[in-house]
Amino acid sequence: MAQVSRLRCVEAMALDPARLVVLYAELGQDGAERVISAAMEDLAGLLTTLEDTAKIAHRARLRATIAEICELAEQVGLTSMVRAARHLAQCVEQDDPVAQSAVMARLGRIAERSLTEVWDLGDLSS
């Protein structure tokens, strides 16, 4: 009898708190929270766009969306999300749909944890 193994993917999440400190120092609490909140909303929208664009395999739009994700994630210190998005860009450039699918799933897991972490860190949800 064959056994079924359950694999659980746990992504390491890296956050650059120094980037958040800089935002708070430059913009004050209210300004930083507005910027971070807007970035989080934009990232969520971009991730949805990325999934939709991947379904229709529009490579130019994929590259543009990935670049936007990298820029916003870097702005708020989501280093693991930036790294995963860059890996995704490599998969798109190499036209490797299997790797692209795997890295898209990885980016989604990292994004979920990263967005939650930033919200919690700054207590922006209240």
pTM score, whole prediction: 0.82
Please count the residues of the chain: 126
Taking the C-alpha atoms of residue 34 and residue 8, their distance in angstroms, rounded to an integer, is 35
pLDDT single digits (tens) 66-125: 999 999 999 989 999 999 999 999 999 999 999 999 999 999 999 888 877 776 665 544
Catalogue the long-range contacts made by 84-87 (C-beta closer than 8 Å, 24 or more residues apart).
Answer: 84/110, 84/111
Mean pLDDT value of segment 22-26: 92
CA distance 119 to 126: 9
